Each structure stands twice: as C-alpha cells, then as structure tokens.
Amino acid sequence: MDKFFDNIWVLRATAFILAFLLFFYVKAELTGGGKESTSNNHVDIITDVPLEVYYDSENLIVTGLPETVDVTIEGPMQIVLKTKFQKDFKVFVDLNSLLIGEHRVTIQHENFSDKLNVTIDPEVVDVVIEEKVTQEFRVDPEINNRLFAEGYVLKSMMAEPSKVIVTGAKSIIENISYVKATVSAPEGIKESFTQEANVKVLDSNLNKLDVSIQPETVNVTVEVEEYSRDIPITLRQIGTPQQGVVINELNTDTKTIELFGPKSIIDSLKSLVVEFDVSKVDRSGNYEVDLNLPKGATKLGTDKIIVRANVTKTPTQSDSVDEETDEDQSMDEPNGVDEEIKSE
C-alpha cells in the first residue's frame, strides 16, 4: 500500500482529480450564489420621467432635449417598489457651464438608493444652446374662399390684436416667413362674423416653428359682401320717332352701373344694355329710364338712370315759331325730368 502511494504517477493523478473536483465545486457554489442574488433582485422601468434642465432660461434657448426619459431600476424589491411609487428622485442635465453652440451631454440622476442599479434611456443627448430672441410680428388672417356661398365674397379681414410677440431661438426667428391666423367655418358663408383663431408661425415651406407666441389666439373679424362689379352702360334706341321729330342724340351721365350676383354670371357680362323708346319723346330734355335686372343677377346698384335726349322737330308754317321757343326752354332746364320711360 505504501509502495502504491510512493509511486509518483499515482500522486500526480490523485492531485489532478482533487483539483478537478475542487474546481467544479467552487464553480457550482459561485453559480448557485449568483442565482440566489439575482432571484432576490427586482427590475422595473419607470416611464415618462420629466427631465429637468438647468440653464439661463431668460437669455438662452435649448433644443434637442427630450421632455421625458425612461428610468430602469434594479435592486431589492422593497426598495424598487418604494422608489417607483414615491418618485422622490430626479433626472436632470446641468447646462449652466456650457457656452452657446452644440454639445453632447449625459443625463444625470440623484436621490436614488445606493442599493439600486439605475439606467436612463436615453443616457446621452445632443443639444444646441442658442441666444433667445423676442420679436413682434403682424398677424395675417386667412380663410378658404371656397367657404363662401355663391355670389358672396370676402370684403375684408382684420385680426385683433393685429400683432403678436414671438420668442424663440435666434436661428428660428430669422427663419420666420409667415404668422397666420386661419379662420374655419361651415360652407355657405353669407354674413360677416368674428371668430377666435390660433396663431401659427411658419417657415417658407409652411412648416410650423417651435416658438412661444403671445397671445396665442386673436379675434378675426370677417366682413362678407355680395359680389359686384361696375358694368358699362350701353344705350340702345328702340321704337319709331313721332312724326315731325328727329332724334339727334341720346346720352347719359351714368357711364357704369354696379351689378350684384354670382361671380361667374357678373363677370360674363360685357355691358348692360338700356333700351330707350324714342316713340315717347316729343321734345329735347331729360328722361328717367327704368333698368331691367339681367338674368342671374341679384340686384342693381340703382334701378333708374337719366337719359338726355336732343331732339329737333320738323318746322311747319303754323308752329315753327312756337317750336323754337319750346326747344329753347327745354335746353335751359337740363336737370329736370320731362318724362319717365321704361326700358323694355
């Protein structure tokens, strides 16, 4: 037996076996201990945690930071649950020591138990620090013209207040192209109205810009009127002059007439033809003529005009002297109305 253990190869083999067994024993202990530690830990995610930002907010603007972050905590269950429900911790970035420009910053945290493993998502963010600029802009109210009823158009729009104060990063303020207040309403607008509208600040591509607006809303007054256009007047002589009467000239001081109605109809009219019945004229003078409303139009600016007739009567031996006297008297009173003639 002693000879067996005195053999060098037996001793080496025995030592190797013992070392092999010891290795797996220790490994098993370590593995078992790790599992026990993990089984005692609890992992939870706290979502939408507000991110606090420390910087000179009166003079600077910071962009690129998320409003909230997700926080993963791992540790003893009791501490994890207490932390999640009490939320007496905070996550933040301190930018007070940074200059204007682009920076990569790490989100920090405090008031967590030292027994917790804390992970923040995102952990690092890229930020831009810029000069804060405040500028006054005029508000441009707008409305979709398709909302107006047939025959009605926009007369004017006015925003109150007419200007707003816009605050933002210098690069954004310099990129402002439009400050608008859009009015919305059901289709078929026929009457004027006032509506509160949100103010939008846009760039040249009509993208909304991230700025502060004071006030954020304005009152927009929309004035609506019927569509109208001034149409030239054309006099047309109808009828047959009385015997012995010669019509030298017909004219009127009213050169145009305002005509109301649907735009497509009013714009298609080149002139308003006024028919003058000369069969009712026996002397020179002013005649009042009724106007007829064209088909499709809704109303006229005035329904009568004055037509001035210059007439010569064929003289006879019996009344030539009286005729000349009548003509002179008629021409001496150009502003009177001798007779009303209805346009056919």
What's the fold here for domain 139-226? Answer: RNA Polymerase Alpha Subunit; Chain A, domain 2 (2.170.120)
Cα separation of 28 and 299, whole Å? 102
- pLDDT tens for each residue of 111-167: 999 999 999 999 999 999 999 999 999 999 999 999 999 899 999 999 999 999 999
- The percent of residues in the chain predicted with pLDDT above 70, rounded, is 81
The per-residue pLDDT for 313 is 87
Rounded mean pLDDT of 289-317?
88
**First and final C-alpha spacing in the chain:** 150
Confidence of residue 300 (pLDDT cuts 50, 70, 90): very high
Rounded mean pLDDT of 278-304?
91
The per-residue pLDDT for 269 is 92
pTM: 0.61
Identify which of 126, 208, 215 has the alpha carbon closest to the alpha carbon of residue 172.
208
Which CATH class name applies to 41-131?
mainly beta
Higher per-residue confidence, 4 vs 248: 248
Q: Output the CATH code of domain 228-313.
A: 2.170.120.40
Spell 228-251 as b/e; 16+ CB within 10 A means b: beebebeeeeeeeebeebebeebe
pLDDT beyond 80 at 55? yes
- pLDDT tens for each residue of 67-111: 999 999 999 999 999 999 988 999 999 999 999 999 999 999 999
Within 10 angstroms of residue 65's Cβ, the number of other Cβ atoms is 18
- DSSP string covering 217-273, please? EEEEEEEEEE-EEEEEEEEEEES-PPTTEEEEEEE-S--EEEEES-HHHHHH---EE
Mean of pLDDT over the chain: 85
What is the residue type of 56? D
The token duo for 241 is: 């002059």
The per-residue pLDDT for 41 is 85
Rounded mean pLDDT of 240-260?
91
- pLDDT tens for each residue of 8-51: 666 677 777 766 665 554 454 444 333 334 557 899 999 999 99
In contact, 311 and 245? CB cutoff 8 Å: yes
**Fold match between domain 41-131 and domain 228-313:** yes
Domain ranges of the chain: 41-131, 139-226, 228-313
Residue 28 burial by Cβ neighbours in a 10 Å radius (0-12, 13-18, 19+): exposed
Cα atoms in the Cβ-side hemisphere of radius 13 Å centred on 210: 7
The per-residue pLDDT for 244 is 87
